[in-house]
Structure 1
Amino acid sequence: MNKIRPPRVTFHQLRTLEAVVRLGSITRAAGELHLTQPTVSAQIHELQSALDTALVEPAGRGIRPTEAARLLQETALDMFARWQRFEEDLQALHGLERGLLRIAGVTTTEYFIARWLRRYTDSHPGIEIELAVDNRDAVVRRLRQDETELAVMMMPPDNLPLQRVPLMRNPLVLIGPAGHPWAGARRVPRKSLDGQPMLMREAGSGTRLATEAYLRTHGLTPALRATLGSNEAIKHAVAAGLGLAVLSRHALAEDPAQDGVAVLPVAGFPIERRWLLVWRSDRRLSLAARRFVEHVQDHPPDADAASAGKGRAGDDRAG
Structure 2
Amino acid sequence: MTLPLRSVSLRQLQVFLEVYQRGSITAAAQQLHLTQPTVSLQLKRLSEQLSEPLYHLHHRRLIFTESARLLAEYTREVLRSTERLEMSLADLHQLKAGTLRIALVSTAKYFIPTIIGPFAREYPLVDLQLKIVNRAELLQRLEQHRDDVYVLSQLPEQPALNVHPLVANPLHLIAPDPHPLGGHPSLSLHDLSQEAFLFREAGSGTRLAVEQCLARLDLRLTPRMVIESNEAIKQCVAAGLGLAFLSEHAIRYGGMAGIQRLAVKELPIQTHWQFVWPKDQSPSVLAEAFLRYLTASPLATDQG
TM-score range, shorter chain: 0.7 to 0.9
Partner in structure 1 of residue 82 of structure 2: 83
**Alignment match, 1:111:** 110
**Does residue 133 of the first structure (1) align with residue 132 of the second (2)?**
yes
Is the partner of 1:192 in helix, strand or coil? helix
How far the C-alpha of 1:67 sits from its partner, in A, is 4.5
**Are residues 1:159 and 2:158 paired?**
yes
- Mark the CA change 1:217 to 1:14 in structure 2 (over 3 Å): closer, same or farther: same
Q: Aligned pair in 2 of structure 1 residues 254, 224: CA closer, same or farther (>3 Å)?
A: closer
Compared with structure 1, are the counterparts of its residues 250 and 72 closer, same or farther at alpha carbon in structure 2 (3 Å cutoff)?
A: closer
Structure 1 stretch displaced more, 159-168 or 61-70 = 61-70
Structure 2: gaps spanning 5 or more residues: none
CA apart distance, 1:50: 4.2
Q: Give the secondary structure class of the aligned counterpart of 1:272.
A: coil
Residue 215 of structure 1: aligned partner:
214
In the alignment, structure 1 residue 18 sits paired with structure 2 residue 17: yes
Please, which of 264, 267, 288 is the counterpart of residue 265 of structure 2?
Answer: 267
Quote the offset at 1:200 in angstroms: 0.5
Q: Does 1:287 align with 2:295?
A: no
1:187 is aligned to 2:186: yes
CA-to-partner distance for each residue in 1:186-225, whole Å, 9 max, x for gaps?
2223420222211101111111111111112102233421
* Change in CA separation of 1:104 and 1:41 when aligned onto 2, cut-off 3 Å: closer
Report SS of the residue matched to 2:240. coil
Once residues 254 and 54 of structure 1 are traced to their aligned partners in structure 2, the CA distance between those partners, rounded to angstroms, is: 52
1:73-118 deviation line (CA, Å, top 9, x unaligned): 4443332222112112212222212111111221111211111111
> What is the RMSD computed on CA atoms of the aligned residues?
2.7
Is contact 2:19-2:28 (8 Å) kept? yes
Q: Distance in 2 between matches of 1:296 and 1:119?
A: 10
Where does residue 276 of structure 2 map in the other structure? Answer: 278
The answer (yes or no) to whether the contact 1:55–1:66 under 8 Å persists in 2 is: yes
How far the C-alpha of 1:298 sits from its partner, in A, is 0.8
Where 2:182 maps in the other structure, the secondary structure is helix
Farther-moved stretch of structure 1 (206-215 vs 133-142): 133-142
Letter in 1 for 2:287: A
**Structure 1 letter corresponding to 2:290:** F
Q: How many residues align?
A: 300
2:157 aligned counterpart, secondary structure:
coil
Q: 1:226 to 1:116 in 2, by over 3 A?
A: same
Match of residue 310 from structure 1: none
For residue 32 of structure 1, what is the amino acid of its counterpart?
Q
CA spacing shift, 1:31–1:182, aligned 2, 3 Å: same
Say if 1:63 and 1:123 are closer, same or farther in 2 by CA, change over 3 A.
closer
Question: CA 1:46 to 1:184, structure 2 compared with 1: closer, same or farther past 3 Å?
Answer: closer
**Does 1:96 pair with 2:91?**
no
Write the distance in 2 (CA, Å) between the matches of 1:221 and 1:128: 46
- Higher mean displacement: 288-297 or 65-74: 65-74
Contact 1:252 1:259 in 2 (8 A): no
Alpha carbons of 1:291 and 1:15: their partners in 2 closer, same or farther (altered >3 Å)?
same
Structure 1 contact 153–277 (Cα < 8 Å) conserved: yes
Secondary structure at the aligned position of 1:252 is classed as helix
Change (3 A) 1:216 1:30: same
Give the corresponding residue for 2:141: 142
Q: Distance in 1 between matches of 2:303 and 2:178?
A: 28
CA contact (8 A) 2:162 2:278 kept: yes
Alpha-carbon offset, residue 296 of structure 1 = 1.4
1:153 is displaced (CA, Å) by 1.1
